Chains A and B, each alone.
Chain A
Amino acid sequence: MTTTYQPAIPIWCAGCGHFGVQAAMNGAIRTLEIPPHETMILAGIGCSGTVQNNLGTYGYHALHGRVLPTAAGVHLAGHLVHSFRRNASFTYVVMNNGVYGLTKGQNSPTFQSNGSAALEFDAISLGLSIPSTTFLARGFARWTDQLDRLMLAAVEHARAGRGFAFIEVLSPCVTYNDTYPVWEASLHDLDADGDHDPADRAAAFAKLTALAETGRMVVGQIYLADDAGPADPLPRPAAEDTSPTTNAQAYAELLGRYRV
């Protein structure tokens, strides 16, 4: 057995929503029996950007704000908008707490300045607006049963090659922006809503928008394309035989095009 790094103890404050996110990620990996070497967790800068240290998988700590293109590069496929569009098969977890905890509490772009629960920047709405999106879900860090289920579904979706799985977790910061009570009181659970058909993009958009206007946020499986087949048609360059000998003839032919 080869010894590698020891998974770290999370640096987060007691009560941080990120514990719920990490538990859901860990649960999905274990339930699906994915060996640690087959998992790579890429994370950005800040409190959320330490989760990759804690689970014993391959981990990468990206430059600030650059985790998506890097993940797309790893996955050989894009930023948020472009990842939706490219529909690259990996799971993207947004740990939304509206604040920068690691630099001691400045507002983040998702900070709700009006004090209400309605999101002023809603990544889910953005995802819905892009036709190639296949999986959109939102969980709440304290609602662990649902979060575990959504995380598992997201990882399964991506692993099956059905496309980019986007899951936003409302993960409050108890130290600088404790939104537990206001968020929890404003949630509308689509999974418990007998009317919601996750395959109906237009209905999902309408419901989300209507609820937002009354200061409410939806959680649950918001959208799941029912025809999401194996996407990801990209080749796997890492597995290509790049030896000069193997490719000699093809290179020679290519050179021939420049002969005068």
Chain B
Amino acid sequence: MTLETQRKLNDINVMVAGQGGDGSLTVANLLGVLVGRSGFRMFTSRDVASRIKGGHAAALMRASIAPRGCMGDALDLLVAFDEEAVERGGPWLAENGFVIFDSSGGPAPREHLPAGATVYEIPFARLAVRDLRRDLFKNSLGFGVVARILSVPDDEAADVLSRRFAHLPPRVAEANLGALRAGFAYADDNGLTEGAGPLTLDRAAASDRIHISGNEAVAFGFLAAGGRFFTGYPITPATEILTWLERMLPRFGGVAIQAEDELAAVNMAIGAAMTGTRSMTATSGPGISLMQEGVSHLGSAEIPLVVVDCQRSGPSTGMPTKPEQSDINMVVHGGNGDFPRIVLAPSTPDDCFELSVAASNLAQRIQGPVYLILDQAVSQDSVTTAPFAVDAVQLAAGKRLDADDLSATSEYRRYAVTDDGVSPWAVPGTPAGMSLVTGNERNEWGQVDTAAANRVAMVDKRARKIAAVRDDLPLGRRWGDPDATIGMLGIGMELGAMAEATERLAARGFPVSGLQPRTLWPVLDETVEFIRDHERVYIVEHNAEGQLSHLIASVGAPHDRLRSILKYDGIPFRPGALAARILDAEGVAR
């Protein structure tokens, strides 16, 4: 390969795949560090089977100079540890893409690959076992070949590997370096000489960045917002919030507990929230189903709690490791009775952080349930982003009464009817603040009361709490051409694909403007106005029934301007495919 024929990339899509336990994530992580040094941003994702161990597992990585929130249209490089990896990744490979195939068991199944693909067949596992005595060294070996394809100097690749294995015994680190060198040697034999691979990476100025997932960002935001009590029950794709907080909260005097089930989780959180401790619970759709009684109770008894729903494909147990946005109806309308609630829906990790903080504050202000809804992709994909503005976090305590406040007043009614519907409250343990808290309808004193006039006063009081915070609810993110007559709207993981599809459409002379509503309930005026301001708006969502579209229509957005773009196959949108669906719907030739 001569330098003249090198392709210089500012955006590279890579898939490393094999059986779970093959170490696909290791290779992807090494590659991530390598390209990060060139100032690339990363988007990393996983595609795993819902299995205890093993099963097909893929690490997906996109490295780009521009910030991207989804995988690109095609793979530039596929590192395949078995045939299944080629079957799954092959159809997604670019026409001029590269494949590194572990040929220990035979040649690559070419029928799954585009004709123009370059395939390097290397018996990684056999080499690793023969020369290095351990199958896992095939990852370091593979990384050596990847580095050569990307024209990365050997020293640089070795440095990345050394740092990665720095925490391991020197013997192991040295053995991996040996495997890397074996990879270089194999590359030499296959015409991949140092610094002269078929691909090179563009460079950009490095800046201060973090790489973090949505779940980690939600947990971090909760901590920064003063959250000190968390309960959860393990469930994909929410478990990382539980494990993160189990690790971190005790260091800050907080408590994180794995409850016996989701019913206990929400009720323990309710108990803790009553003490004035900022509390949260997190689960996925099946757990949210179980928690509905608790959420209704929060609304009735007026207890502040953040409930996180990391949505996955439903119904019922569905597809645990696949993303969907099909709990919208449940979180907006679920639970018995009429009660106020807020539903926030973040997209990127920085959005997860911000809205996690906002959710904690809003729960205190409305003394009620605030949902934070993600989807599997938002939860588990990691993105390179600017460091969170931890310094800018402010806590809103809501209306609280301490012993001094109480001693200065002649009466304390826990559920006093007020103009904004919010009743100042004293937490248990406060002298003279004795109160009765109940999910039954009750009077201002907290005593069960079913009188008609009291009932109406209490329902209305609780409803007013939303009006009181409405102006402070998080506004949506916008992109694209504000003058466009066509709009695009979606939440969560759709943002990345929508923003990039907008660029593609603009390049085709088809301008659109976009909105990611961050407050889903109540539906904000800006959302309805966005529909009114466009001739047509494509509502992009991952569910089969158009739940978001129905929600927006239900509050007065003109139906005839809404166009649903639905996907429910468990796979996120890729930007090109999304752009194509809009062009098709518009009747514009692609």
Q: Are B274 and A60 in contact (CB under 8 A)?
A: yes
A192 in the interface (beta carbon within 8 A):
no
B409 in the interface (beta carbon within 8 A):
yes
Q: Are B226 and A5 in contact (CB under 8 A)?
A: no
B-contacting residues, A125-169, CB 8 Å: none
Q: Are A4 and B432 in contact (CB under 8 A)?
A: yes
**Closest chain A residue, CB of each to CB of B248:** A254
With contact pairs A52-B436, A242-B226 given, residues A260 and B384 touching in the complex (Cβ less than 8 Å): yes
Q: Are B431 and A63 in contact (CB under 8 A)?
A: no
A27 in the interface (beta carbon within 8 A):
no
**Closest chain A residue, CB of each to CB of B264:** A69
Enumerate chain B residues within 8 angstroms of A71, measured Cβ to Cβ: 271
B165 in the interface (beta carbon within 8 A):
no
B-contacting residues, A41-64, CB 8 Å: 42, 52-53, 56-63
B549 in the interface (beta carbon within 8 A):
no
Enumerate chain A residues within 8 angstroms of B271, measured Cβ to Cβ: 42, 60, 69-75
Q: Can you list, as one digit per residue, whether each of A175-217 has a CB less than 8 Å from chain B (1) or not (0)?
A: 0000000000000000000000000000000000000000000
Q: Are B445 and A4 in contact (CB under 8 A)?
A: yes
Enumerate chain A residues within 8 angstroms of B445, measured Cβ to Cβ: 4-6
Enumerate chain B residues within 8 angstroms of A37, measured Cβ to Cβ: 428-434
With contact pairs A244-B394, A259-B209 given, residues A58 and B434 touching in the complex (Cβ less than 8 Å): yes
Expressed in whole angstroms, the minimum distance between the Cβ of B358 and any Cβ of chain A is 14
CA distance A205 to B488 in the complex (A): 68
A-contacting residues, B426-469, CB 8 Å: 427-440, 445-448
Q: Are B447 and A8 in contact (CB under 8 A)?
A: yes
Expressed in whole angstroms, the minimum distance between the Cβ of B290 and any Cβ of chain A is 11
A82 in the interface (beta carbon within 8 A):
yes
Q: Are A244 and B272 in contact (CB under 8 A)?
A: no
With contact pairs A248-B390, A259-B209 given, residues A5 and B446 touching in the complex (Cβ less than 8 Å): yes
Q: Of residues A78, A250, A258, which shows the largest number of chain B Cβ atoms within 10 Å of its Cβ?
A: A258
Stretch at the interface among B94-102, B275-283, B323-331, B372-380: B275-283
Q: Are A59 and B446 in contact (CB under 8 A)?
A: yes
Instruction: List 14 interface pairs A-B (beta carbons < 8 Å), by A numbering.
Output: A4-B413, A4-B434, A4-B435, A4-B445, A58-B433, A60-B438, A66-B263, A69-B267, A78-B259, A237-B255, A244-B226, A251-B390, A254-B220, A259-B208
Q: Are B438 and A244 in contact (CB under 8 A)?
A: no
Contact of A63 among B216, B297, B387, B414 (CB under 8 A): B297
Enumerate chain A residues within 8 angstroms of B267, measured Cβ to Cβ: 62-63, 66, 69-70, 73
B509 in the interface (beta carbon within 8 A):
no
Q: Of residues B257, B276, B413, which shows the largest number of chain A Cβ atoms within 10 Å of its Cβ?
A: B257
Q: Can you list, as one digit per residue, whether each of A237-255 has a CB less than 8 Å from chain B (1) or not (0)?
A: 1111011100110111011
Chain A: residues with Cβ within 8 Å of the partner, total of: 57
A235 in the interface (beta carbon within 8 A):
yes
Enumerate chain A residues within 8 angstroms of B250, measured Cβ to Cβ: 235
Main secondary structure of the interface of B (DSSP, over half): mixed
Expressed in whole angstroms, the minimum distance between the Cβ of B250 and any Cβ of chain A is 7
A30 in the interface (beta carbon within 8 A):
no
Enumerate chain A residues within 8 angstroms of B248, measured Cβ to Cβ: 254
19 further contact pairs, Cβ within 8 A, besides A4-B413, A63-B297, A255-B390: A2-B410, A5-B446, A37-B433, A52-B436, A53-B447, A66-B264, A70-B268, A73-B273, A76-B272, A235-B255, A237-B272, A240-B252, A242-B395, A243-B395, A250-B252, A251-B224, A259-B209, A259-B210, A260-B33
Closest 4 CB pairs of A and B: A73-B271, A242-B226, A73-B268, A237-B228
Q: Are B223 and A251 in contact (CB under 8 A)?
A: yes
Enumerate chain B residues within 8 angstroms of A40, measured Cβ to Cβ: 428-429
Enumerate chain B residues within 8 angstroms of A63, measured Cβ to Cβ: 267, 293-294, 297, 439
Contact of B229 among A1, A237, A243 (CB under 8 A): A237
Expressed in whole angstroms, the minimum distance between the Cβ of B543 and any Cβ of chain A is 29
Q: Can you list, as one digit per residue, whether each of B207-230 has a CB less than 8 Å from chain A (1) or not (0)?
A: 011111000100010011011110
CA distance A33 to B332 in the complex (A): 47
Q: Are A258 and B211 in contact (CB under 8 A)?
A: yes
A35 in the interface (beta carbon within 8 A):
yes
A15 in the interface (beta carbon within 8 A):
no
Enumerate chain B residues within 8 angstroms of A2, measured Cβ to Cβ: 406-407, 409-412, 432-433
B36 in the interface (beta carbon within 8 A):
yes
CB within 8 Å of B: which residues of A? 1-6, 8, 35-38, 40, 42, 52-53, 56-63, 66, 69-79, 81-82, 234-240, 242-244, 247-248, 250-252, 254-255, 258-260
**Closest chain A residue, CB of each to CB of B427:** A238
Expressed in whole angstroms, the minimum distance between the Cβ of B353 and any Cβ of chain A is 10
Enumerate chain A residues within 8 angstroms of B216, measured Cβ to Cβ: 258
Enumerate chain A residues within 8 angstroms of B448, measured Cβ to Cβ: 53
Enumerate chain A residues within 8 angstroms of B277, measured Cβ to Cβ: 76, 237-238
A-contacting residues, B507-545, CB 8 Å: none
A-contacting residues, B375-416, CB 8 Å: 384, 387-388, 390-391, 393-395, 406-407, 409-414
Q: Are A81 and B446 in contact (CB under 8 A)?
A: no
Q: Are B436 and A53 in contact (CB under 8 A)?
A: yes
Q: Are A242 and B278 in contact (CB under 8 A)?
A: yes
**Closest chain B residue, CB of each to CB of A235:** B253
CA distance A168 to B26 in the complex (A): 55
Q: Are A69 and B394 in contact (CB under 8 A)?
A: no
Q: Can you list, as one digit per residue, whether each of B233-254 has a CB less than 8 Å from chain A (1) or not (0)?
A: 0000000000000001111111
Enumerate chain A residues within 8 angstroms of B409, measured Cβ to Cβ: 2
Expressed in whole angstroms, the minimum distance between the Cβ of B357 and any Cβ of chain A is 10
B269 in the interface (beta carbon within 8 A):
yes
B75 in the interface (beta carbon within 8 A):
no
Q: Are A235 and B254 in contact (CB under 8 A)?
A: yes
Q: Are A5 and B208 in contact (CB under 8 A)?
A: no
Q: Are A58 and B439 in contact (CB under 8 A)?
A: no
Expressed in whole angstroms, the minimum distance between the Cβ of B160 and any Cβ of chain A is 12
Enumerate chain A residues within 8 angstroms of B410, measured Cβ to Cβ: 1-3
